[in-house]
Amino acid sequence: MGSQSLHMLAVDFGASSGRAVTGAFNGRTLTVNEVHRFSNEPVRLGNHFHWDFLRLFHELRQGIHASRRMAGGAPVSVAVDTWGVDYGLVDAKGRLAGNPYHYRDLRTEQVMPEVFSAIPENELFRMTGIRSSSINTIYQLYAEEKVRSGYGAGGLKMLMMPDLFHYYLSGVMANEYTIASTSGLLDPRSRSWHSGILNTLSIPESLFSEIVMPGTMLGQLRQDIREELQVPDMAVIAAAGHDTAAAVASVPAGAAPYAFISSGTWSLMGIELDQPALSGYSRDSLFSNEGGAGGKIRLLKNIMGLWLLQECRRTWALEGTPLTYDELTELALSAPENGSYIDAADAVFLPPGGMPQRIHEYCRDSGQKVPESRAAIVRCIVESLALQYRQTLDEIEKLAGERMEHIHIVGGGIQNRLLCQLTANVTGRPVIAGPVEATAIGNLMMQALAHGEVKNLAEIRQVVLESFPPETYLPEEAAMWEERYQQYVKLFKRQETV
C-alpha cells in the first residue's frame, strides 16, 4: 500500500435519500465524514413515476462544493453509487431524453409475458443469472417504444444511474460492471452485454457503451463545474456503481469461507464467487448473480429486512406512540418468547401501512399464537428475520458445496444488536458486525484502488478491518435454536428443484 495522504468524495444515492461522504486515507487507515445529506423524492408526472434527476444532480454538486472544506484539502476524486436497475437515456447531442423512470413505474406491468414469449423465463435466467422481476432494466427498456422503434440506432445511449451522474460530471460515457449486472442484460460469464438477448428483443446494441470494471478512472471533472463550485481538478471514478457492490467491497473478511448480509431496510444475503451459479436450484431459490468488485460474482438473495420493523414503528407513531429503534429493541428483549413466526419473504408484507395488523393476521391464519403486544410483535419480527437468514444460509451452502465459517453483517442494520445476536444463535456461526457506513467506505476504497493506493480487494478489506474494528457475536443456546429452526421450516416449507 502507498503512504501518501489521499482525500476522496463518495456520493451515495439511496432510493429515499442521499449523502456525500469524504474520506481520508493515510496508507493504512481510512477516516470518513458526512458533509451533505439530502432527500430523494420521486415525482409522479401524469401517469408515470420518475426520479427527479435534475434535483439529484444539483445535490451532487452541492456535495462536491461542501467537500472542498475538508481538512487537509479538497478531494482529488469523486465517485457515485446508487440503487440498481434504473437508467437514463441521452441523445446524440448529450441531452437528457427525459427524467429517468422510477423502477415502480407501471409501464412494465404487461411486459414480462411478452419478453417470456420470446425468451422463456428459465432460459433467461441461464443467460443472465438474474431473478426475474418487473423492475429489471430488461423489462423497462422493452417498454420503451422509442428504443425498440430504432431511435436508439440514431445516437441514443442508455446509462445506468451512477453512469448518468458520471457522464454529466466528466463528459465520459461508460457502463460500470456492478451496476450493469443488475439490468438482466449482461452475460455473467463474459461480463459483457448479451447480444443474443438484445437481438431477440430488438433492443439496439448501439444503445450501450463499453463495460468498465469497478475502480476505473473515467476522466476529470468538467471545467464549467470546477469553476462554478470553486474546486480544483478532480478525477471522476467508476468505483462500484451499485450500492450493494460497494457495501460488499467493505466487508472486512479474511480467507475463511463466509456469507455476507448487507443489512438495512432490505437485507441482501449472499456469497462471492468467481463464476455465476446458474442451476435450477439457484433460480428456484430466488438468487441473483450480480457483479462485484474485483470481477467477482455476488450470488445473493433480497430478503425483506428491517422494513417490517420500520413499518410497525411508523404505524405506532401514527397511533400516538413514537418509539426509537433502541426502545423497540428493549421491548423485544423484555417480551416473553411465544414462538410465533412470519415468513418475511411473503409478498403480503411488501406494501406500506398496517404492518402490525398484517402480522396478527398472518400468525392467526398459519395456526400460531397471535403476538398481541408491541413487544411480542417486535420479537416475532426479529426472530423471524434471523430464522430466514438461517434458511438462506442453508441454501447458500448447498449451492457453494461448503460450510460458511462466519457471517459478516454490514450497514445500518448492525445497530440492531438483538438481530445480530439472534442471527449468531440461529445460524450457529459467529456474526462479525461492521462497518455501519459500508457503502460509502466501499466506494471510497475502490477510489483508492483506482489511485493505486491499494492493490486488490484483500488489501481494501484489511484497511477496513484496521479502520473500523467490527464487533463479534458468538452463538448461544444452539440446541434450542436448532429445534426452533426446524419448527420454522415445517411452517414455511418451500418446494425445491435441484
Catalytic positions:
243
Q: What angle do CA 257, 412, 363 make, to 5 degrees?
A: 90
Nearest to 97 by CA among 136, 128, 141: 141
- d(CA 84, CA 291) in angstroms, rounded, equals 11
Task: Give, as one character, the DSSP assignment of residue 452.
Answer: T
- d(CA 158, CA 90) in angstroms, rounded, equals 7
Distances (CA, A) of 326 to 45, 234, 415, 435, 436: 39, 41, 9, 19, 16
Residue 33 CB neighbour total at 10 angstroms:
13
What are the phi and psi torsion angles at 377 (to 5°)? -65, -45
Sign of the torsion angle spanned by Cα atoms 104, 303, 87, 68: positive
- d(CA 341, CA 368) in angstroms, rounded, equals 8
Nearest to 13 by CA among 158, 160, 161: 161
Radius of gyration of the chain (CA): 23
The stretches of 11-92 forming alpha helices (DSSP H) are 53-67
Fill in the amino acid letter for 239: A
- d(CA 461, CA 296) in angstroms, rounded, equals 15
Taking every pair of Cα atoms in the chain, the longest distance, rounded to a whole number of angstroms, is 66
- d(CA 269, CA 260) in angstroms, rounded, equals 6
Residue found under cell 443489512: 263
Residue found under cell 470546477: 226
Which positions ≥6 away from 486 have C-beta within 8 Å? none
Q: What one-character-per-residue DSSP string does 388-406 give?
A: HHHHHHHHHHHHHTS---E
Q: Is 285 left (phi over 0), alpha (psi -120 to 50) or beta?
A: alpha
Nearest to 427 by CA among 415, 409, 413: 409
What is the SS3 assignment for 492?
A: coil
